[in-house]
Amino acid sequence: MLLRFIVLSVTSLLTPVSLAETQPCPKQFHSVPVPDNAHYCRLFNDKLPASLSFHFPASPHDAIDYYQRTFKLLHREKQKDRFVLTSPEHSWNLILSPDGSGTQVDILIRASQDTAEETRQAEK
């Protein structure tokens, strides 16, 4: 299910550039912080499910370190040359892909944190 969501979300990120023009990067996207040195931000959808993509001028491992310092309990999975980080409440994913001299970061927001936590509690 998670892999299907990620594949569909990444596929949706491949929309024509005219639908997602580069813009200044926000400080955060929903509840996920965007590093100060991020650039080439592209907002694909601000409403749920939401997605934002940007370039981070550091290695994927540095990007992982940045997000693990912020969110201590991230689930990390490697898929080919990409890393997928998942929030503890499963409300969002980060896909980190090597990109030239840095990392492409795709933030995929599936649900608000409150909704995700309610769903998770109901599954127990």
Model confidence pLDDT, tens digit, residues 20-31: 678 899 999 999
What letter represents residue 81's amino acid? D
- pLDDT of amino acid 22: 80
Look-up: residue for tokens 């608000």?
112
pLDDT at 119 over 60: no
Tokens (6 digits) for 76: 């990390």
d(CA 24, CA 80): 30
Q: What percent of the chain has pLDDT over 90?
A: 65
Mean pLDDT of 42-47: 93
pTM for the full predicted model: 0.75
CB-side neighbour CA atoms (13 Å) of 116: 16
- pLDDT of amino acid 113: 59
**Where residue 124 falls among pLDDT bands split at 50, 70, 90?**
low
Look-up: residue for tokens 């650039």?
39
- pLDDT of amino acid 8: 47
